[in-house]
Amino acid sequence: MATSGKVIKCMAAVAWAPKTPLSIEEIEVAPPKAREVRIKILACGICRSDDHVVKGLLSNQKFPVIAGHEAAAIVESVGKEVTAVKQGDKVIPLIVPQCGECRCCKHRNSNFCIKNDVVNTGLMEDSTSRLTCKGKPVHTFLGVGAFTEYTVVNEAAVVKIDAAAPVERVCLIGCGFSTGYGSAVQIAKVEAGSTCVIFGLGGIGLSTLIGCRVAGAARIIGVDVNKDKFAKAKTLGATECVNPRDFTKPIHEVLCGMTDGGADYTFECIGTIDTMTSALKSSHPGLGTCVIIGVAAGDERISLDPMLMITGRTLKGSCFGGIKSKDCVPQLVADYMAKKFNLDELVTHTLPFEKINDGFELLRNGKSIRSVLIF
């Protein structure tokens, strides 16, 4: 491509400080260094974690930053020694990379590659950024930073997908869908005939619901304080939905009453410590598994009565649904193309990139499941 090896000037949504609207600015994107890939973003979902970034809620969060991490893209150019992808490939950037060499990559059951940037450095491996705005280096979120026309990612953090896949749908496989779906099928390993409870019916919760249904759960109970979320949850396979505000007693007591003492599996897809504790208490004391998926604000802590665990519950956490990203993302795209599951119900709004702040408003007002930005 004509831009190969050159600095690209393009538009990006920059967060200069916490709690301010994103500012659409011209940025400069340097060419990729060795084992790096420069990608042109085609579509990107707005995830709740992006909202945490722009509000400055995450540990180590640094500004200015470009959030956005649920994207589909095309490779513009590659740095030296890159073998995994080539110019023109349709790709999904990976918020949890897969280097293939670290202890987690080599472990059968872990996906938490050491090259991840969940710790929020916001920089490339050499501790610099390829993105600058007004002469200042700009951080990127989760090693991706996709609210921009172009960005640069590590080779370990990008994977080729089917060129025919619709970017405005499969971008969700870059975060929300895989996180929820994997939490059900890979982390919890939901069994056919079981009872599941899902706290929070946003993009993550509904993706978890799809996973529970594909795994053959007999009962799936959705929990949300916004009853407007119930209709879609039922379309996707929830058998019942409950609103904690409709009860005077704690929601875990209500749920244990509905499930013969507690559910087989519970999933926390909200990100508050209160709902994390409720999800654990709603799992059966002797056999239940609770999976925490929601991301709490950086300084929040859970305090637990150890008796909750001693009786036989299992508490698990999930990052990117526990799936090994390079191995599984292309397969999930293929499964979507083969109609094994549908992503259409999750996308409630499609907006041009310039309307990004409107997309955040829809999320904050509980009006959207996923808004997908088109570039």
107 given a catalytic annotation: no
Is residue 203 near ligand APR by the rule CB under 6 A? yes
CB of 104 to Zn ion, least distance (A): 6
With both helix axes pointing from N to C terminus, report the angle between 273-282 and 251-258 in degrees, rounded to the nearest 10. Answer: 20
Q: How many CB atoms lie within 10 A of CB 81?
A: 10
**3-state SS record for 81-143:** CCCCCCCCCEEEECCCCCCCCCHHHHCCCCCCCCCCCCCCCCCCCCCCCCEEECCEECEEHHH
Interface residue with ligand APR, options 270, 280, 347, 362 (CB under 6 A): 270
Q: Name the helix (H) or strand (E) containing 204.
A: helix 203-214
Does 102 contact Zn ion by CB under 5 A?
Answer: yes
**Given the structure tokens 């949300």, which residue do they identify?**
224
Instruction: Compute the half-sphere exposure of residue 54: CA atoms within 13 Å on the CB side of its CA.
Output: 25
Q: Distance between alpha carbon 321 and the CA centroid of its chain, in Å?
A: 9
Stretch that binds ligand APR, among 87-95, 119-127, 225-233, 318-326 (CB under 6 A): 225-233
Task: Pick one of Zn ion, ligand APR, none as the site partner of residue 182 (Cβ within 5 to 8 A by kind).
Answer: none
Min dist. Cβ of residue 106 to Zn ion (A): 8
Asked about 69 being catalytic, the answer comes back as: yes
| Contact residue for ligand APR among 61, 178, 259, 275 (CB under 6 A) | 275
In degrees rounded to 5, what are phi and psi of residue 334?
Answer: -65, -40
Task: Catalogue the E-assigned strands of 271-341.
Answer: 289-292, 314-317
The answer to whether residue 202 forms part of the interface with ligand APR (CB under 6 A) is yes
Selection from Zn ion, ligand APR, none that 99 binds (CB < 5 to 8 A by kind) is: Zn ion
Q: Is 133 in the site for ligand APR (CB under 6 A)?
A: no
Among residues 10, 105, 175, 319, which one is catalytic? 175
Give the residue among 140, 141, 189 at the shortest CA–CA distance from 27. 140
Q: How many chain residues touch ligand APR (CB under 6 A)?
A: 27
Q: Does 146 bind Zn ion (CB under 5 A)?
A: no
Interface pick for Zn ion out of 85, 99, 124, 158 (rule CB under 5 A): 99
Q: On the CB side of 269, how many CA atoms lie within 13 Å of its CA?
A: 33
Please work out the total of residues on this chain that contact Zn ion, with binding judged by CB under 5 A: 7
- Distance (Å, rounded) from C-alpha 267 to C-alpha 283? 9
Is there binding between residue 293 and Zn ion (CB under 5 A)? no
Q: What is the strand order of the sheet 240-242 is part of?
A: 240-242, 219-223, 195-199, 265-268, 289-292, 314-317
We find the least distance from the C-beta atom of residue 52 to ligand APR, in angstroms, to be 6
Kindly identify the residues of this chain, within the stretch 11-50, that bind ligand APR according to CB under 6 A: 47-49
Site for ligand APR in 277-306 (CB under 6 A): 293-295
| DSSP track, 135-195 | TEE-EEGGGT--SBSEEEEEGGGEEE--TTS-HHHHGGGGTHHHHHHHIIIIII-PPTT-E
Closer residue to ligand APR in complex, CB, 150/267 = 267
Segment lying near ligand APR (by CB under 6 A), choices 8-16, 76-84, 193-201, 210-218: 193-201
Contact call for residue 171 and ligand APR (CB under 6 A)? no
> Per rule CB under 6 A, is residue 204 in the interface with ligand APR?
yes
Helix (H, G, I), strand (E, B) or coil at 21: coil
Q: Shortest approach of Zn ion to residue 69 CB, angstroms?
A: 6
Asked if residue 104 binds ligand APR (CB under 6 A), the reply is no
Cis omega (within 30 of 0) for bond into 166: no
Pairing of strands 158-160, 150-154: unpaired
Binding-site partner at residue 102 among Zn ion, ligand APR, none, CB < 5 to 8 Å by type: Zn ion
Catalytic residues: 47, 49, 52, 69, 175
Residues at the contact surface with Zn ion, assessed by CB under 5 A: 47, 49, 99, 102, 105, 113, 175
Residues at the contact surface with ligand APR, assessed by CB under 6 A: 47-49, 52, 176, 199-205, 223-226, 229, 244, 269-272, 275, 293-295, 366
